[in-house]
Amino acid sequence: MNLKINAYLEELKSFNDSNAQKIEELRIKFLSKKGLIAALFEEFKAMPSQEKREVGRSLNDLKKFASTKIEELKSTNPVEEDAGEKIDSTRPANNYFLGSRHPVNLVKNEIIGIFEKIGFNVSEGPEVEDDWHNFTALNFPEEHPARDMQDTFFVAKDPDWALRTHTSSVQVRVMENDKPPIRTISPGRVFRNEAISARSHCIFHQIEGLYVDKNVSFADLKQTLLYFAQEFFGKETKIRLRPSYFPFTEPSAEVDVYWGLENEVDYKMTKGTGWLEVMGCGMVDPNVLKNCGIDPEVYSGFAFGMGVERIAMQRYQISDIRLLFENDMRFLEQFQSEL
């Protein structure tokens, strides 16, 4: 083996070619995984132990010399530029188009930021839910007519699993796993088996909020929603609460903000009243607290929920909800300035 080592060493010493391709061929010949030096190391494994010490030192010296030699050749003989690929520094630069955030994300992130300022954290949960978290725990008993309020996509014809119809299911999971005080918002995508039109879609996004603690009152709810409305829509915004019904809150209300009647679009959006519905809310029903392992005699709470697409359409004067789901670049590029 020493004869081979000496022969390879001499070949490396005598190599002085400046051609980049020849240098690369030399590297492959000696230092690649299937090169000559790798083959010597394989032979070295089978040698008698008493010979390994001397031969091993020579073999390592050969590998080190080969690496140093090839690095020196590369540094003194840089790769020549292909004459056909010279850079013309006078040419205009390529145009890189600025991306933009989706209007739904813009509105969602702004709403989350507003509630985070007053101590709400963000909770998320699965989009495929079981019957307990999506319905039963929220005061939707089996065969209860309230279940007809939301047309549901069931999974594989299994009535026990469905695509969630609201992010209230996330709030159930939070109440099951955390002890009061609880202050959380649950943004996410929800699904309802509805016909797609300019005003409705089978997929949309919600942000729902929940606050559970001792001595929580309807006044706390109203003040929280007034804070949100004035942060999002403007400091002078007024709100009103109209009685409504939701199975999981009692009492329940719809929340309107005063949008105004400054132009024809305002008349159309508010149906001539100047008031625009933005969300539903109410005090958490004691049965819901009990279902989640919270004592309604000690704790109370409020909840609210809003559709992100509806608010985005109002803010950006978008007339057709389908535009938010079609990924039309001509539409999305309008929001570059909103980054």
Question: Is 152 strand, coil or helix?
Answer: coil
Q: Going residue by residue through the chain, which has 339 residues, state the pLDDT in tens, using 9 for 90 and above.
A: 778 888 888 888 888 888 888 888 888 888 888 888 888 888 877 777 777 777 778 888 888 888 888 888 888 766 554 545 667 778 777 777 677 889 999 999 999 999 999 999 999 999 999 989 988 899 887 776 656 666 778 887 667 888 898 999 999 999 999 999 999 999 999 998 888 888 788 899 999 999 999 999 999 999 999 999 999 999 999 999 999 999 999 999 999 999 888 887 778 778 888 898 999 999 999 999 999 999 999 999 999 999 999 899 888 888 888 989 988 888 888 887 665
Tell me if residue 68 falls in helix, strand or coil: helix
Q: At what angle do helices 49-76 and 2-14 cross, to 10 degrees?
A: 10
Which residue do the tokens 């394989």 mark?
42
- Let me know: does 31 contact 66? Beta carbons within 8 Å: yes
pLDDT at residue 145, as a whole number:
65
Predicted pLDDT of residue 198: 82
Q: Residue 303, by phi and psi: left (phi above 0), alpha (psi -120 to 50) or beta? A: beta
Are 185 and 308 in contact by the 8 Å Cβ rule? The answer is no
Q: Distance between CA 32 and CA 180 in Å, rounded?
A: 65
Residues 6+ away with beta carbon under 8 Å from 328: none
Q: What strands, in cross-sheet order, belong to the sheet with 249-258? A: 121-122, 182-191, 203-213, 300-307, 275-284, 249-258, 239-246
